[in-house]
Amino acid sequence: VDEAGFAAAMEKQKVQARAAGKFKMDKALDYSGEGNDFVGYDDLTSNAKVLALYADGNAVTELKAGQAGVLVLDTTPFYAESGGQVGDQGMVHNAGGQFNVADTLKIKADVFGHHGEVKSGSLKVGDAVQAHVDSAVRAATVRNHSATHLMHKALREVLGSHVQQKGSLVNAGRTRFDFAHNAPVTDAEIRQIEGQVNAEILANAAAQARVMDIESAQKTGAMMLFGEKYGETVRVLDIGSSRELCGGTHVKATGDIGLFKIVSEGGVAAGVRRIEAVTGANALAYLQSLEDTVTQAAGTLKAQPAELNARIAQVLDQVKALEKELAAAKGKLASAQGDELMTQAVDIKGIKLLVAKLEGADAKTLRDTMDKLKDKFKTTAVIVLAAVDGDKVNIAAGVTADTVGKVKAGELASFVAAQVGGKGGGKPDMAMAGGTNPAALPAALASVQAWVTERV
């Protein structure tokens, strides 16, 4: 084993995975000017001046209608993608033009790049503008981000203090949270986590953010996320019973989150689990969708939603009973067909050869019929049975014990299957095969007699 090569490939994959999990920065943009003043914790609208414009990664003095680019403002309410939270969307405009912001990314720690397209008019470096964050998208994102902190605290309390954040993605749609844990989170644990988070929401406790030096923050007991890099000054967020270092935007009080619902949980890597959850209007829409599904299912089964479990159990019992009846009917059919088919056998040098196509038979029926025919023939017989099910061909080949020295069932099944676009094989006395070309089956069955004749 090339252990050195494996280790190198594994390290490359780890680097790629870590890179894919980190949020983007516009380091490729050549900007050396002053930083911007971020006012987005308190305001979603601000007056600003355009400090720089970029088109195709190059600095320009003007962006015109229909042109995509990046703009830098001296003051901005737009939050730049960081700490798991996606960048804000919105609009920057003045009398001369409107720029729609689709995303906000950091060029440097204190310089935000507003990505988007000029909707109308034009914008120039030095223009005085107004910046407006999309309040609905921000509000939904804020609810999800705040709920993530409460969920992180609940995860540690329910699953254990070994739980550590391994990654997160928070946008307007949902929160995605990766954490260290070595077992699936059970349904009971998920209910407990949801219960704790929603209890914090109902308490409607005010959230508080304080800016302080890193040493003072550590003394407060605030959780510092493993692997994160912090500067000398940090933001300590108190929300509900959670206290963490976080530079993201958050609700004023836990009640603003509205409702918290986990929608999925699963493993993403060895020892790493992923939970996705929704809040507010998205949580309501998710629950309404589930209700619609239950109502439609109940209607299909002609039952009330509350009776759905009992009705499903009843239907499954009925299906099992019908499957038993069908199996019995096919067994009788196989027996009856066996008697009729024996008359179709031809003699080839003292060996009885039977080649037949059975209508409406599945693979099991072919096997059952084959067994009955071999019992009836007892000696010196070669049998090939086939059936078509939609665009699928099932083939069974059987040879009595005294004839396997001359003809092998596995070889015969493969010979027929090859002509109908398939393959198969098995033991010398019994073999199954399949194919995907029903149109070629008649010719394939017709060729069996010559194949057997050559061998006997």
Q: Where does the pLDDT of residue 26 fall: very low under 50, low under 70, confident under 90, or very high at 90 and above?
A: low
Q: Where does the pLDDT of residue 359 fall: very low under 50, low under 70, confident under 90, or very high at 90 and above?
A: confident
- Whole-angstrom distance, CA of residue 456 vs CA of residue 444: 19
Q: What is the pLDDT of residues 151-182, one digit of tens each?
A: 999 999 999 999 999 999 999 999 999 999 99
Q: Where does the pLDDT of residue 335 fall: very low under 50, low under 70, confident under 90, or very high at 90 and above?
A: low
Q: What is the pLDDT of residues 115-131, one digit of tens each?
A: 999 999 999 999 999 99
pLDDT of 104 higher than 80: yes
Q: Where does the pLDDT of residue 149 fall: very low under 50, low under 70, confident under 90, or very high at 90 and above?
A: very high
pLDDT of 22 higher than 70: no
Please tell me which residue, 92 or 330, carries the higher pLDDT value: 92
Q: Region 237-254: what's the mean pLDDT?
A: 94
pLDDT of 271 higher than 60: yes
Identify whether the C-beta of residue 397 lies closer than 8 Å to the C-beta of residue 409: yes
Residue 242 has a pLDDT of 95
Q: Where does the pLDDT of residue 288 fall: very low under 50, low under 70, confident under 90, or very high at 90 and above?
A: very high
pLDDT of 334 higher than 80: no
Q: Region 90-111: what's the mean pLDDT?
A: 95
Angle (nearest 5°) at CA 239 between 272 and 237: 85
Question: Which of 134-148, 169-183, 224-238, 411-425 is least confident?
Answer: 224-238
Question: Which of 216-225, 228-237, 310-319, 443-452 is least confident?
Answer: 228-237
Contacts of 44 (CB under 8 A, 6+ apart): 77, 90, 132, 133, 135, 138
- Whole-angstrom distance, CA of residue 380 vs CA of residue 28: 81
pLDDT of 344 higher than 90: no
**Residue 41 to residues 13, 175, 250, 292, Cα–Cα distance (Å):** 37, 20, 8, 38
Q: Where does the pLDDT of residue 48 fall: very low under 50, low under 70, confident under 90, or very high at 90 and above?
A: very high
Instruction: Report the candidate in 374, 367, 375 with the shortest Cα–Cα distance to residue 396.
Output: 367
Q: Region 347-356: what's the mean pLDDT?
A: 93
Q: Global pTM?
A: 0.72
Residue 15 has a pLDDT of 58
Residue owning tokens 């490939």:
9
Q: Give the rounded percent of residues in the chain with a pLDDT score beyond 90.
A: 75
Q: Region 226-246: what's the mean pLDDT?
A: 85
Q: Where does the pLDDT of residue 406 fall: very low under 50, low under 70, confident under 90, or very high at 90 and above?
A: very high
Q: Region 296-315: what's the mean pLDDT?
A: 93
What is the rounded average pLDDT for all residues in the chain?
Answer: 91
User: Residue 432: how many CA atoms within 13 Å on its side-chain side?
Assistant: 13
Identify whether the C-beta of residue 308 lies closer than 8 Å to the C-beta of residue 217: no
Annotate 308-345 with three-state secondary structure: HHHHHHHHHHHHHHHHHHHHHHHHHHHHHHHHHHHHHC
DSSP 40-86: TTT-SEEEEEEEEEEETTEEESEEETT-EEEEEESEE-PPPSBTTBP
Identify whether the C-beta of residue 239 lies closer than 8 Å to the C-beta of residue 224: no
Q: Which two tokens stand for residue 342?
A: 């024996």
